[in-house]
Copies of this chain bind each other. A is one copy, B any other.
Amino acid sequence: MAKSIKVFAPATVANVACGFDVLGFAVDAPGDVITMQLTDKPGTVITSISGDGGRLPKAAEKNTAGVAVNAFLKQLNITQGVEITIEKNLPLGSGMGSSAASSAAAVVAINELLGKPLSREALVPFAMEAERIACGAAHADNVAPAIMGGFVLIRSYAPLDLIRIPSPDNLYCVIVTPNIELRTEDARKVLKQEITMKDAIQQWGNLAGLIAGLMQKDYALIGRSLQDVIVEPMRALLIPGFEEVKIAALESGVLGCSISGSGPSIFALATSNQIAENAGAAMKVALNKIGLEGTIYVSKINDEGARVIEQF
């Protein structure tokens, strides 16, 4: 068994237009990297964090990676000590599953170091505990795909029921992150607690269509289904230029475009790397026009989830 390990966990897109709170997928890059080693001195210590501009807490019980590892160790009654180094590559509060990537990498790392006592799926609840610290709710739509890869449906939270949804080989994602920050907690506040039956019917019709489209590799159906009539209209108001960016993406030939997670990042799915690149450039131009900068990330859907980069 390795004594030290380096694990990468990717950015994730939660909600995926019509799948609010129940669907997410992983991309190839960017992502966070956790280096972890077991020590003889009990307790979880975060030795360094880079890339966060000093904003993340180093106290293990306040840091998503630390919380996730501690939940794992407690459940398995393990008293060994752990040292963690975090390289943050995901911008904070961007809607790309930044907090989830760190906790996902952390639970995969500790599981590997201890000889894989648990399956990938069984690691998700520990990372969900970290989400509770990070954004006030133990949601799974970022951590599950970050750990398991691909598209993951959270059919139910109680009991937790995670379903891996197969997706077509040629599915590319572009994410554009405007240089503004939106806290998940704040993005949750704008959500209505009641919705109309009419909107709900349209939403679940689209989600069912998206699941069928992904599984049948029917790109046109995926495109027709990528519509959010409930959450996007509420949250788009918090994202300056959202409509313009979405129009730019759709005019570039993507299958569909919506808010990534709770925003402000905006994602689109496309059938080729080239279309995704073109869309990204057009989306950035749309942002620039209203005086905002943005970062473009283009990548394939990541079927693997978090992965071991190095162990020794």
- A-side residues, CB < 8 A to B, are 18-23, 153-156, 161, 163, 165, 191-198, 200-212, 215-216, 221, 224-225, 230
Residue pair A163, B20 in contact (C-beta under 8 Å): no
Residue of B nearest to A154 (CB): B205
Question: Which of chain B's residues has its CB closest to A213's CB?
Answer: B163
**Do the beta carbons of A206 and B156 come within 8 Å of each other?**
yes
The residue from B20, B163, B193, B208 contacting A23, defined by CB atoms under 8 A apart: B208
Tell me whether B207 and A156 are in contact (CB under 8 A): no
Query: Complex: how many Å from CA A235 to CA B279?
Result: 47
B195 touches A153 (CB 8 A): no
In the complex, what's the smallest C-beta–C-beta distance from A262 to chain B, in angstroms? 14
Q: Which residues of B contact A165 (CB under 8 A)?
A: 212
A209 touches B20 (CB 8 A): no
The CA-CA distance from A212 to B165 in the complex, in Å, is 7
Q: Which residues of B contact A19 (CB under 8 A)?
A: 204, 208
For residue A203, which residues in chain B have a CB less than 8 angstroms away from its CB? 200, 204
User: Judging by beta carbons under 8 Å apart, are B192 and A195 in contact?
Assistant: no
Query: Which 4 residue pairs spanning A and B have beta carbons closest together?
Result: A155-B209, A204-B204, A22-B205, A200-B200
Q: With A165-B212, A215-B212, A215-B215 as known contacts, state yes or no: A155 contacts B206, CB within 8 Å.
A: yes
Residue of B nearest to A23 (CB): B208
Are A202 and B163 in contact (CB-based, < 8 A)? Answer: no
Q: Report 20 cross-chain contacts, Cβ distance below 8 Å, ordered by A residue.
A: A19-B204, A21-B201, A23-B208, A155-B206, A155-B221, A156-B206, A156-B224, A163-B209, A191-B197, A194-B194, A195-B197, A195-B200, A200-B203, A200-B230, A204-B208, A207-B207, A207-B208, A211-B215, A212-B215, A215-B215
Query: Which residues of chain B are near A198, meaning CB under 8 Å?
Result: 193
Chain B residues lying within 8 Å of A161, measured Cβ to Cβ, are 209, 224
Knowing that A155-B208, A200-B200, A211-B212 are A-B contacts, what are 15 other residue pairs whose CB atoms are under 8 Å apart, sorted by A's residue number?
A: A19-B204, A21-B201, A21-B205, A153-B208, A153-B209, A153-B212, A155-B221, A192-B197, A194-B196, A195-B195, A197-B230, A200-B230, A204-B204, A208-B211, A215-B216
A216 to B164, CA, bound (A): 11
When distances are taken between beta carbons in the complex, the residues of chain B under 8 Å from A201 are: 20-22
Interface centre among A19, A195, A198, A210 (most CB of B within 10 A): A195
